[in-house]
Amino acid sequence: MDWWLILLIVFGSLLIALLVVLFFYQLFAKRFCEIVGSIILLLLLWPLMLIVSIIIKCDSKGPVLFKQKRIGRNKKEFIIYKFRTMCDHAYEMGGIASSEEDLRITKVGRFLRKTSLDELPQLINIFFGQMSVIGPRPVLKWEYEECAKEEYEPRFKVRPGMFCTVDVKYRAAATRDLQFKMDADYAKKMSFGLDIKTFFGVIKTVATGKNVYKKESNINGNN
């Protein structure tokens, strides 16, 4: 077989695969890519995740993983997994950490939050279909109840994400209304192109180390 024919077959196959992803992304291609991607990433990253787990156990008392109920697609509750970044039972002591000075945050936890490495266990949620790589932020039940507006309903029609469009600029510094609005907009416009743009935008934002906590930024002021 001539080399040009091999190239033509390879190029044609890639083109067909790309067209399938573009035209059937919401229907099944996004989910298929995430199943394959989560398996590959878990296989590649398990040594890193093991090292992080050991460091967490050596750094402070408590479990390696933080588990919490969140509201997902169709408003169904699921258990989200993260690497623990605060002392054990920290949420019961004072809710969500809003600044780096929060004494409940562990030494290794500050690094994990800044680099978003604490999100890696959510690959398990993605594999089981509870989450996506990109999607609305998975919220707590009381957060949903405080912002239960009809205009925000579209956000619950898609799987919540490990990362979201808000992370591109604001990360944790976004107000809840802004978060829900951007989530609803994402759900309406969800596409392969938007997910790729968001993914690389999040990488750039994480690299800057900004807006890890709510008190770091003034949304109406300077970012």
Domain count of the chain? Answer: 1
Whether 90 is covered by a domain: the verdict is yes
Residue 54 lies in a domain: yes
Distance of CA 203 to CAs 89, 117, 159, 209, Å? 30, 12, 21, 10
For residue 146, name the pLDDT band (cuts at 50, 70, 90): confident
Strands 161-163 and 132-134: parallel
- HSE, side-chain direction, 13 A CA sphere, residue 139: 22
Instruction: Confirm whether 174 is domain-assigned.
Output: yes
Average pLDDT over residues 114-135: 96
Least-confidence region, from 47-51, 111-115, 196-200, 208-212: 208-212
DSSP class of residue 188? H
- Among residues 113, 201, 130, the alpha carbon closest in space to that of 164 is found at 201
- Predicted confidence (pLDDT) per residue in 48-62, tens digit: 999 999 999 999 999
Its domain, for residue 150, covers 26-216
Q: Does the pLDDT value for residue 223 go beyond 50?
A: no
143 in a domain, yes or no? yes
Average pLDDT over residues 171-180: 87
pLDDT band at 129, cuts 50/70/90? Answer: very high
Question: Given this model, what pLDDT does residue 98 score?
Answer: 64
Distance CA 143, CA 154 (A): 16
Between CA 130 and CA 124 the distance in angstroms is 9
Q: What pLDDT, on the 0 to 100 scale, is given for residue 20?
A: 73
Q: With pLDDT > 70 as the criterion, what percentage of the chain qualifies?
A: 92
Is residue 17 included in any domain, yes or no? no
220: pLDDT confidence band, cut at 50, 70 and 90? very low
Whether residue 217 is predicted with pLDDT greater than 70 in this model: the reply is no
| Rounded Cα gap, residues 160 and 175, in angstroms | 18
Domain-located, residue 5: no
For the chain, what is the mean pLDDT? Answer: 87
The verdict on residue 189 lying in a domain is yes
Residue 9 lies in a domain: no
